[in-house]
């Protein structure tokens, strides 16, 4: 029986653990497309899964990794044949279905997207779920009428994966972007991505007033909790805040004041179960609206074994940008 390397998370009477193992191909879950994985990524959700710090994994054993890009080895799905290059983001992969942090994957073809011609596999993973989520946030701002002439756009977690791509895309589209980060040493990096100004996270992370001075025409928030509440409180009349993350907590200690007194819109953005048609639009827009030359600035690449120790560094806020994992290195 052929074997492949992968990170396997197990939970039993001995405890919760993640380890790099040799896995039998017979252990792969059900699916109509088998993929030889080239690259995956390390996202915040993957880091929670690997360390066990969050209740991400709901079936054991499980291979984490919410992203992957690779080549179809075998398919009974009408849309895919052997040799096709495909990518995947979300759909519960890495949570309830085996994911991309392994050399092989078996998935439902309906979850896949053909690798866009304008991206190499490495570029697609440098973007990954984080970049695709950032693009969904930009699309939500546009859908609600937030144009560059309306004013400044705030991006929290600006040195992280979603934030880095959001700053880059928004600045290329002509928006005046203000980034927020808890790491002052990353201010120059955020400005290099296109931010006009960088603010300290401390200004947003403590309890604030129900309404603050109006400043933001729109925002992309990956933090939640007090940060999201303070962003909403300081958003301009009829401004739009997109919420796509909970790095600071799942709570939302706010009031209705921004919504009923200023007409602020809070738009939730979900990338996991997002319909395929919306995914295709997001990837198409990334091909035109993301400065590909900035991906090298945003991206770190590691081998599969390095993903486990790096998960802790990610949760501790010590990493910038995107982490691409070469599962064959």
Q: Which CATH superfamily is domain 129-268 in?
A: NAD(P)-binding Rossmann-like Domain (3.40.50.720)
The reported pLDDT for the residue numbered 248 is 93
Q: pLDDT tens digits for 40-80?
A: 999 999 999 999 998 999 999 999 999 999 999 999 999 99
Report which DSSP code applies to 84. Answer: -
The reported pLDDT for the residue numbered 21 is 96
The CATH number that domain 3-115+292-326 falls under is 3.90.180.10
How sure is the predictor about 279, in pLDDT bands with cuts at 50, 70 and 90? Answer: very high
Letter string b/e over residues 41-75, b meaning 16 or more CB atoms within 10 A of that residue's CB? bbbbbbbbbbbbeeebbeeeebbbbbbbbbebeeb
- Contact partners, residue 288, CB within 8 Å, separation at least 6: none
- Contact partners, residue 159, CB within 8 Å, separation at least 6: 179, 181, 183, 186, 189, 190, 320, 321
Q: pLDDT tens digits for 288-309?
A: 999 999 999 999 999 999 999 9
Q: pLDDT tens digits for 233-261?
A: 999 999 999 999 998 999 999 999 999 99
pTM score > 0.95 for this model?
no
Which is nearest to 86 in space by CA: 100, 101, 65? 100
Could you state, in order of their start, the residue ranges of all structural domains in the chain? 3-115+292-326, 129-268
pLDDT averaged over every residue in the chain: 96
């Amino acid at each position: 029986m052929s074997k492949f390397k992968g990170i396997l998370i197990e939970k039993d009477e001995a405890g919760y653990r993640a380890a790099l193992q040799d896995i039998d191909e017979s252990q792969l879950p059900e699916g109509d497309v088998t993929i030889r994985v080239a690259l995956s990524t390390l996202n915040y959700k993957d880091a929670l899964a690997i360390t066990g710090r969050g209740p991400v994994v709901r079936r054991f054993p499980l291979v984490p990794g919410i992203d992957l890009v690779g080549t179809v080895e075998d398919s009974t799905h009408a849309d895919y044949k052997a040799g096709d290059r495909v990518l995947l983001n979300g759909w519960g992969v890495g949570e309830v279905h085996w994911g991309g942090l392994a050399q092989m994957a078996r998935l439902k073809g309906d979850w896949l997207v053909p690798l866009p011609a304008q991206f190499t596999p490495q570029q697609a993973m440098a973007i990954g779920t984080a970049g695709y989520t950032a693009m969904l946030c930009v699309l939500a701002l546009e859908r609600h009428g937030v144009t560059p002439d309306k004013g400044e756009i705030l991006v929290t977690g600006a040195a992280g994966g979603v934030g880095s791509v959001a700053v880059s895309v928004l600045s290329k589209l002509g928006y005046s972007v203000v980034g927020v980060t808890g790491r002052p040493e990353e201010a120059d990096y955020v400005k290099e991505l296109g931010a006009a100004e960088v603010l300290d996270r401390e200004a947003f992370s403590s309890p604030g007033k129900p309404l603050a001075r109006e400043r933001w025409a729109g925002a992309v928030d990956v933090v939640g909790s007090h940060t999201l509440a303070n962003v909403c409180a300081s958003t301009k009349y009829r401004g739009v805040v997109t919420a796509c993350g909970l790095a600071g907590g799942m709570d939302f200690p706010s009031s209705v004041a921004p919504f009923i007194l200023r007409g602020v819109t809070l738009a939730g953005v979900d990338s996991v179960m997002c319909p395929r048609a919306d995914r295709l639009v997001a990837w198409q827009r990334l091909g035109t609206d993301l400065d590909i030359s900035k991906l090298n600035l945003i991206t770190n690449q590691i081998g599969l074994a390095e993903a486990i120790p790096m998960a802790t560094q990610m949760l501790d806020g010590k990493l910038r940008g995107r982490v691409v994992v070469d599962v064959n290195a």
